[in-house]
Structure 1
Amino acid sequence: MQLLLFLFLHLLGWVSSFYPNHESKGVGLQDLTDTDITEMGILKAVATFMERNPRPGTPEFRAGELVDLSPLTPTTLFQAYFKADVSPSRFIKAIQQIIVGNNEVEMYQQDDSSYHFNCEEISKGILHFQTTRDSVFSGLSGSVSMSSLESARLNTGRALHILQKFYSNTNWVELGQNTPYHHLVNSSVLAYPVAPPTIPTCKDCSVDNSGFFDCTGNILVKNLLTSGYKTSTKCRTKPKGKCGHGGLYDETQFDPTTGGINKETSNPKLSPHHYLHHKAAGLAINATKEYFIGQGFGLLDLLGPDLFRKFFNLEGYSLTFVIDVTGSMGNDIAQVKTTSIDLIKKHANSLDAPYNYILVPFSDPEYGPVFKTQNVSQFQNSIASLTVGGGGDCPEMAMSGLQLALTSSEPRSKIFLFTDAGAKDISKLDDVLLLVESTKSQIYPFLTGYCVPTGTTLTTKNEYEILAEVSGTAAISVEKSNLNTVLGVIELALNSAPVLILHTVLLTDRLPFLVDENLKEISISVSTNTSFTLNVFLASGLEANTTTVVSTENFKIVNIIVEEPGSWHVVMNKIQTCTFKIEGKSLLDFSYQIMEEHNGYVLPIQGHPTKGSNYTLSVDVQGSASGMMITKILLLNKNGEVDSSINVDQMTDSSGRLKVVVSVQLQLTLLMIGIAGKTKNGTEFERVNPDLIQTEDVQLIFPPGQKSTLIEGGTLNISVLVVNKGKQRSQFKLQAKDEFSLLTEFHPSSVTLDAKETMNLSATFRAPANSNYSSSIATFTARSESAKNYLNILIRVVPESTLVTDDTPPQYEIENMNMPCKDTWQLMDECKKHQWDLIFRAWDESSQVYVSVGSEIPEAQELVCKEPVGAGSIPWVSCQYSSSCCYPYVDIIMQDKAGNANVLRVDNRQPMAENQNSNTVKVAISCATVAFVVCLSLLVCFLIFWRRRKQQSQGIYRID
């Protein structure tokens, strides 16, 4: 049986620690995963912060008004806080980055017991948590950039993974604890003592009627911390008498001590203490909340409210202008100032207003500086103060200006670029595209002219059209004299809850589209190569009342307040090829993740997906889930046409939100994701995510088992696997870089790979001697003529002292023990009349010693310890313990500040003769039973042997 299980586990792949998400197979719908715990802890923390910090000019919240929302989701929280439709998409992005950091522990540290609190590596786990958390605070203590925020979120995810494992994999819950373990998040709090190696912590579990282990009450220690053993390369054995991790994926669950103690799920096959799963998860949620807002030690108190808002993207979006200031742009800038500022002022006091306004000028060779303000008048003055001049050759430093704008703006911002020239620094286009992908910001290029950059060949699209396509917008070419006629596009960007309903290119004169009751208003954008007119008709057949936003010969935008849901139509005056884009304002939206299997789990991919590969697509629906139904997942090509439609079964996660998980094969080079379904009123709806997905023929992989942490002053070598996923031999240019220049070398810089061939890219990082808790995201890229992909790895620097764990327990010496408790003195009638005493002293080389009794002290017992005394650097504490002979036994626990414990055990209890006789009888019965089984087995073997001899003598042969 054990052999079959062992083979099964190896075929399936080892699964370690708490389940990261519901996409991973085997986890129940009501189980709480790492993703659930992280998100719920964050929501409670942010809801508490919002309750205490209402928006200026609004009434204060009642205690619990936001925290106790049911369900508490990003959408319900934002709707209750702003009392209006405000999309939580930027907040969700911050949460997802934290969750990615959490998941990465399963990819890269799966085999390290200390990251999961397995194998009683509790002190190491606490040290890992505290140093990772310190990296977060250190990374946000100076100048805060988009990259430093991303590093901080990834580090936070790693720290939270360790924090949450404490509650599923140790016996904290079994100890009867109802609050989080505060020493974990606050080292000034005294640690709970950890069971020393010599103390047995568990007994064998029994087997219930269903064939599973019943591990109720299997933990022996009632006052010491312990955790389950799970074998790995760093923890090879389970010591006798120690608890197992347990469950289907623990190969030693049948070895003594059988069973285990994990509470990762509510499934008895996977978690021996399944009945405590929700209590452990509840403590993990509260501990996650305290990580962020714990008084005196949480992120909020240590970094302040402004940085707290920025960390969670609570500040809204930026409205950013990137303006060419060469001599030919003078008239353009004047039109931008007059028309755009009027539009901005119109929305300045609405919820649709941006959080701030940013201006980035550029010319050649200059670009910047960045001007940032929350005041519209100051922004107007900054545009007015721009001076134009020079220019020389035509191309300008547009990509450098955009790069500066993207790193200075909030995530998911609106960036408007004004120029009449191509980009001289077009070599930075790939870097800008990566920023667009990571920030999910949208770039709107306004071109009043164009010239091809020197040394480049104009393809079917110029650099601005490529940027617009990737960010889900369109490049607008217009004559300088007519620039003011298209600036109404800026008004459409002032939307606090933007959604995309449809974005397609069609040869038609009639376009049907769905409008649902969740849409407050919609905008319809149409562009062609010739002049046209358009009308919009409601589901009832009546013509809609439209407001014109932009109207030129070949580009028109109209806005409509929604009063009637159903199937609407855009009708043109003639058949022609048109680009249609229909957007709206609504809280009904969705986010998605493309995922693949790692170590038995399903986790988000790194970089771009590869063409033709199979993935798991996970879709989370935002908005009220009540009565809503998701019926299809849509895969659309780059022109917005449905390439494939997947019928789906939805599920509701533990937070009450709709989730859809499907297997997909991505065959298109460029595609978008959409969903279709019905609202609670039965109205059909569709939504499209504007992010354009690009599949590639090359992949970069960070193989597990490597370190990504280096000591200050030290070096780190890592290897990245480059895989040619294409069908033909290709040459790839390889590159590696990181923000803080920790990278010293990498090789090779190029490689030629056959189809399906792989190679290793090696990189060396060196940390300065004074780098102290810094983090840097290293980006590796591989490019061929037809493919490019990237991989981000978080490189963390820590002081050498953080790698040294104090795992030495205190020592003790018995100075005197008077134990007269024997024979009749232990009987109840006599024991109260007699007393025994113990005098001892204890010391520790690294910290103060804390002494306690390992159980509740009856009135007849007493422990008295004096203040630490002694010469030299190692003081010792002297203690005396006294008890009546009714209790001739005791466990004295001595621990240091880190929780390392030693146990002085005294047990002078005398077994009664009746018990001795009973034990003798049990032994005799056991021996008789064994003898009977042995004899019976020998008899069976003899009969089998005799039967086969008889068959052979009769010419009968059997092949087994």
Structure 2
Amino acid sequence: MSFVCGILLILYSTGTVSCFPANDIVGEPRTKSHSYITLEAIYKTTATFLERLQIANDTKQSPSLKVSTFFGSDGDSLQKFLSTIAEINNRMNEVKRDKAFESQYNVNGERIIEAHLLIKRFRNNVKTLSGNKRNIKNKLLPIRANIANILYIIQEFYSNTNWIELHGSTIYKDFGQDIDELEVDIASTKENTCTNCEYVNGVERCENNIIGTKLTSGYKSGQDVSKPLKQGNDGKCSHGTRDDVSKNFTAVGGIYKGRSIQTEAPHSYLHEAAAAAAVKATEYYLIDQERGLHQLMGEETFRDVFSIRTREDIIKTSLTFVIDVTGSMGDDINGVKTATKNIVNEAKDSAFVPKNYILVTFSDPASLTTGRETSDPYTMLDWLDEIIVSGGDDCPEYAMTGLLKGIEMSNNNSKIYVLTDADAKDEHLRDEVTNGIRRKNLEPVFIITGQCSRKKRDVSQHSEEHTNFHREKRSSISVFEKIARETGGKVYEIKVAEVEIIVEKEIKETFPSSNVFVTWFELPMGPLTNTKEIPVDGYIKTLRIAVQPVRSKSDVALFSPNGTVVSFEEKHEQRELSRDMLTLLIKNPEEGEWRLANNGANAVSVNVTAQSALDFSSSILEISTGGESYQLSGNPITGNGYSVVVDIQNLNKNSTCSDIVLLDDNGNDVMEIPVDRIPSMWIARYTGHFVANNKSSVIQIRGTDDQGNPILRTRYMSIMPVSVQLHIVPLFGDLRLYEASNISFLLTNTGDVSVQFVVTISNGTADVSIQKGNLDGKEIYNGLVTITPNSLETQLLNFHVTLENYTGTIQSETRRYYVSDARNADCTVIEYPMMCPIESLNTGNCSSYKWTAFVEVSSGTIRESKIKVSTDEVVIDHHNLTDANFSVEISISGHCCTESFVISIIDKNSYFDQCRFVLSNQPLTVVRIPMTNIQTTEKEPTPTQGDDPPVLQMALGFGFLGIILLGLLIFIICIKMRSRQSVQEETANCQKLNTYEKVVK
């Protein structure tokens, strides 16, 4: 695969929606976005899945109600389900953003076969990743990423081809399935597919612009395949969005139907049908009984991938600790105690708690291993408090023996938390441990705070004797890593101070409390009349108020909505003092405004949580003037506009959200954002616009329930406006196995003050590149990192930007790159054509400027492969493939009316590779000569328009070009290198082709 070096136009803030929008557009209630389509399709898929499992049998229920009934009061599981849908949607956003210039991903430019083959490849990836059931939990993220690619391309098929025009909302079931050939008649490169759209009263009308009954798709300027130039009224179809210059060429107009507004989409009148078909096709691809991904992955993997699980399974599992109790473990165990107590206190009123609690302790010798079981969480806490650490003069301990005891006592499908600061003396038992974990489908979590080589601290206060220990290193933690790798477990190698954080995080993931964060505040000391209100809405089942620091239970007083002081003498009222924290618990609290008073001698901090099915998730979107929006992955840029979106789960139709509020660390309002509700039958979604100027740490939703009671929910979400913007240049195509590729990125200082930056680029395990420099105000740094994949696994690159004298990371982004094997199919450019000169870039004389080029294609099945060129304006010449052994050289010739094109090789197994050529760095100017006795598509002149069509069209062309050049950032990329060329040679080619190396600002 080889790519020309050319001008890449990167759109920052003037992006136009050119397919289904990534996210909902305020003001276009009838426009369905990828986000909406995917949400609806996965809800319907889940409902069908539940029906097949006979979990949801009420045929009268809507899909939404079936899903809601399945999750019931388990708000945490519903939140995880919705987060999974959001994750898939965000991955689809990444595809849309990074592959906007590749026509095959967007099913544009008649690249329908290539789009089909792409889906097949991602489908095969899902199959491969799903095959290893042991470590499936470690494969969920890449599986979802591949599914996102599939769903994006499938949905684009209905927005950008003429399938809807030909077949209505009936879906094309074969598209993207594991079949070699699509049994549908697709237009050839030589066939005209559209006629010029008409103008009625100055308005473009494209209802009848498609010619024939063959499948086609529109060409879009700026993508890697340009529209062939035609004369007269008939030609190839354009995409037809506002930023599509090709819509001015014959055939004028377009067939895009991704939006519901006629001025934005030529076939907007078919948007509803296209969106409905996209939903059905997505659902079909996921859940069809014979061909769906459900059948491909299997039932359990499908449930894990889409988080179709509730916490009801938890009541059958165990919470198991296997703890090293040698002398140096005192501080580690303290962290476990604190974390476990926090979780138990939060979850004790939840219906979703483990069936039993198991504590296994091990030491040296192995005979000291003990195991205890209880169904009472407080007994478990007592046992942790009673642990006495001692012994452990040498390094390794009997961790495997302890783990075998934990396996024996644990219920199936449980997690086992192993805590030690030493290696395993009984490593020979590893296979027995691994087999036991697999047999019971357990998940081990190893929390390692040492590897024997560290000097141990004094025995903790829980030991009877204070003895200094220094252990000698004998092995490594590799035994724990091997077990985790073979069973889908985890290994945390951490400091002692991090034990509490990790244990609490891990247990919360397994045994969430369904607690929601209501609010927090500081309450000064004062008289009973100096109180703070606490709103309780109809969704709250248990109210929990934590107050700190206090000396006695009488330091605070709680008033119910009727004004009476709560006595805490009733069964549903609880009050517990632990050290300096007082916890007040009210079950089934009365709706209305409760109040809290501070009777103590000091000001106190108050944290209010609740057991409630109503909660929300939030995200920040970058918005563009054209209506497009993308998930913000880093920090916002100071002064730029953004959208905040909240999805509120279990909000009924008579309840409302009125405002989204950003708050600082002290709970003060930073900004109150009015919101609009996005129409949806699947989730209560609200969005509002704000300008990023001030730092905030917390986001809060405010509204009312169906009885008029205030609703308040809070989440931590840091918003830190900065002046440095990171942009990673999209990479055309895939990385190539064992071949070097350049990844370009831009760092822009949007402010006026000079900054010193550090960009650290890592692959998840090690730093790949660290680049430093100074950026003056408004200056741009053009960076480059070279990577060479040595496996076919998806490559991750993490970009982190820090500034001197600034704490923390100011920008962070991750990119995923797929890797292809050149031995299957390969296209290499041997000789690039010269870039077309500016004087050739108009339709009047572009055909007079000729060029030639050469490529070489190769494949292990070259004799059964196919060679394709994206346009009949480009001529290729080569020997018969049936006479080739492995590779064939192809000569290419054409003229400057072709702005860009692609040569493809497709082998017998449907692997394909491409050589892309970009021949001009700006669109052609349209010079149209009026014709008599032929129906034209010119707009009727208005008093402000001239009468000379050629002059008019040239003015429009250059005017539009000026807008593009002002709104875009132009820079050079050399995206791919071949094994034939070094990085230096590839860069030299770029410079030789008269491209521009300087960044235009």
For the residues of structure 1 that align with 2:533 and 2:509, how far apart are their CA atoms? 22
Are residues 1:759 and 2:781 paired? yes
For the residues of structure 2 that align with 1:37 and 1:897, how far apart are their CA atoms? 34
Query: What do residues 276-325 of structure 1 show as CA deviations (whole Å, max 9, x unaligned)?
Result: 21221111112211232233433222222222122123345797979785
Matched residue, 1:746: 769
Matched residue, 1:786: 807
> SS of the counterpart of 2:48?
helix
Pick aligned residue for 1:596 from 609, 622, 626: 622
Matched residue, 1:266: 260
For the residues of structure 2 that align with 1:122 and 1:320, how far apart are their CA atoms? 53
For the residues of structure 2 that align with 1:491 and 1:234, how far apart are their CA atoms? 47
Matched residue, 1:40: 40
Change (3 A) 1:204 1:740: same
Change (3 A) 1:225 1:492: closer
Matched residue, 1:828: none
Matched residue, 1:86: 75
Deviation at 1:703, TM superposition (A): 3.0
Deviation at 1:120, TM superposition (A): 0.8
Are residues 1:736 and 2:736 paired? no
CA contact (8 A) 1:212 1:268 kept: no
For the residues of structure 2 that align with 1:245 and 1:670, how far apart are their CA atoms? 42
Pick aligned residue for 1:208 from 197, 200, 214: 200
Change (3 A) 1:491 1:616: closer
For the residues of structure 2 that align with 1:924 and 1:707, how far apart are their CA atoms? 41
CA contact (8 A) 1:500 1:687 kept: yes
Are residues 1:525 and 2:546 paired? yes
> SS of the counterpart of 2:680?
coil
> SS of the counterpart of 1:643?
strand
Deviation at 1:79, TM superposition (A): 3.0
Query: What do residues 535-585 of structure 1 show as CA deviations (whole Å, max 9, x unaligned)?
Result: 321111123456436412410112211342111012222363322111112
Q: What TM-score do the two structures reach when normalised by structure 1?
A: 0.65
Query: What do residues 423-468 of structure 1 show as CA deviations (whole Å, max 9, x unaligned)?
Result: xxxxxxxxxxxxxxxxxx9x9x9xx999xxxxxxxxxxx9999999
Matched residue, 2:188: 196
Matched residue, 1:497: 514
Pick aligned residue for 2:111 from 112, 115, 121: 121
Change (3 A) 1:583 1:167: same
Matched residue, 1:679: 705
Change (3 A) 1:360 1:757: farther
Matched residue, 1:560: 586
Deviation at 1:524, TM superposition (A): 0.8
Task: Choose 227-236 or 139-148, whichever is displaced more.
Answer: 139-148
Matching residue's letter, 2:327: G
Are residues 1:542 and 2:534 paired? no
Deviation at 1:36, TM superposition (A): 0.7
CA-based RMSD: 5.5
> SS of the counterpart of 1:173?
helix
Alignment of 1:363-442 (within 5 A): none
Identical amino acids, percent of aligned pairs: 27
CA contact (8 A) 1:44 1:289 kept: yes
CA contact (8 A) 1:116 1:162 kept: yes
Pick aligned residue for 1:642 from 669, 678, 682: 669
Change (3 A) 1:320 1:611: farther
Matched residue, 2:924: none
For the residues of structure 2 that align with 1:562 and 1:754, how far apart are their CA atoms? 59
For the residues of structure 2 that align with 1:321 and 1:387, how far apart are their CA atoms? 15
Alignment of 1:126-205 (within 5 A): 126-142=116-132, 144=135, 148-176=139-167, 178-188=169-179, 190-191=181-182, 192-205=184-197
Which of these two proteins has the greater Rg computed from alpha carbons?
1
Q: What TM-score do the two structures reach when normalised by structure 2?
A: 0.62
Change (3 A) 1:345 1:22: closer
> SS of the counterpart of 2:522?
strand
Deviation at 1:603, TM superposition (A): 0.8
Query: What do residues 868-897 of structure 1 show as CA deviations (whole Å, max 9, x unaligned)?
Result: xxx999xxxxxxxxxxxxxxxxxxxxx999
For the residues of structure 1 that align with 2:70 and 2:637, how far apart are their CA atoms? 41
Are residues 1:61 and 2:86 paired? no
Are residues 1:615 and 2:642 paired? yes
Deviation at 1:796, TM superposition (A): 1.7
Change (3 A) 1:157 1:188: same
For the residues of structure 2 that align with 1:200 and 1:43, how far apart are their CA atoms? 40
> SS of the counterpart of 1:182?
coil
Matched residue, 2:536: 515
Task: Choose 604-613 or 241-250, whichever is displaced more.
Answer: 604-613
For the residues of structure 1 that align with 2:265 and 2:374, how far apart are their CA atoms? 52
Change (3 A) 1:296 1:623: same
Deviation at 1:793, TM superposition (A): 1.0
CA contact (8 A) 1:119 1:229 kept: yes
Matched residue, 1:20: 22
Deviation at 1:493, TM superposition (A): 10
Residues matched between the structures, number: 729
Unaligned ranges ≥5, structure 1: 1-8, 55-59, 364-370, 394-412, 421-440, 451-461, 475-488, 806-843, 849-870, 874-894, 900-922, 934-939, 942-960
Are residues 1:777 and 2:806 paired? no
For the residues of structure 1 that align with 2:12 and 2:630, how far apart are their CA atoms? 20
Deviation at 1:697, TM superposition (A): 4.1
Matched residue, 2:224: 234
Matched residue, 1:718: 743
Matched residue, 1:455: none
For the residues of structure 1 that align with 2:203 and 2:559, how far apart are their CA atoms? 64
CA contact (8 A) 1:37 1:284 kept: yes
Deviation at 1:605, TM superposition (A): 0.9
> SS of the counterpart of 1:185?
coil
CA contact (8 A) 2:637 2:725 kept: no
Deviation at 1:758, TM superposition (A): 4.2
Matching residue's letter, 2:39: E
Matching residue's letter, 2:546: S
For the residues of structure 2 that align with 1:232 and 1:170, how far apart are their CA atoms? 18
> SS of the counterpart of 1:594?
strand
Matching residue's letter, 1:91: F
For the residues of structure 1 that align with 2:546 and 2:647, how far apart are their CA atoms? 28
Pick aligned residue for 1:100 from 90, 110, 128: 90
Query: What do residues 40-99 of structure 1 show as CA deviations (whole Å, max 9, x unaligned)?
Result: 111111221122225xxxxx5326456x33xx2xxx444311444534111111111111
CA contact (8 A) 1:698 1:782 kept: no
> SS of the counterpart of 2:246?
coil
Pick aligned residue for 1:606 from 633, 646, 657: 633
Change (3 A) 1:339 1:538: same
Unaligned ranges ≥5, structure 2: 1-10, 364-370, 395-413, 422-444, 450-459, 463-493, 828-861, 867-881, 885-905, 911-929, 941-946, 949-1001
> SS of the counterpart of 1:574?
coil
Deviation at 1:174, TM superposition (A): 1.7
For the residues of structure 1 that align with 2:703 and 2:189, how far apart are their CA atoms? 58
Relative contact order: is structure 1 or structure 2 higher (C-alpha 8 Å, sep ≥ 6)? 2
Matched residue, 1:703: 728
CA contact (8 A) 1:29 1:654 kept: no
Matched residue, 1:291: 285
Matched residue, 1:628: 655
Deviation at 1:730, TM superposition (A): 4.7
Matching residue's letter, 1:252: S
Change (3 A) 1:603 1:323: farther
Change (3 A) 1:193 1:252: same
For the residues of structure 2 that align with 1:151 and 1:251, how far apart are their CA atoms? 36
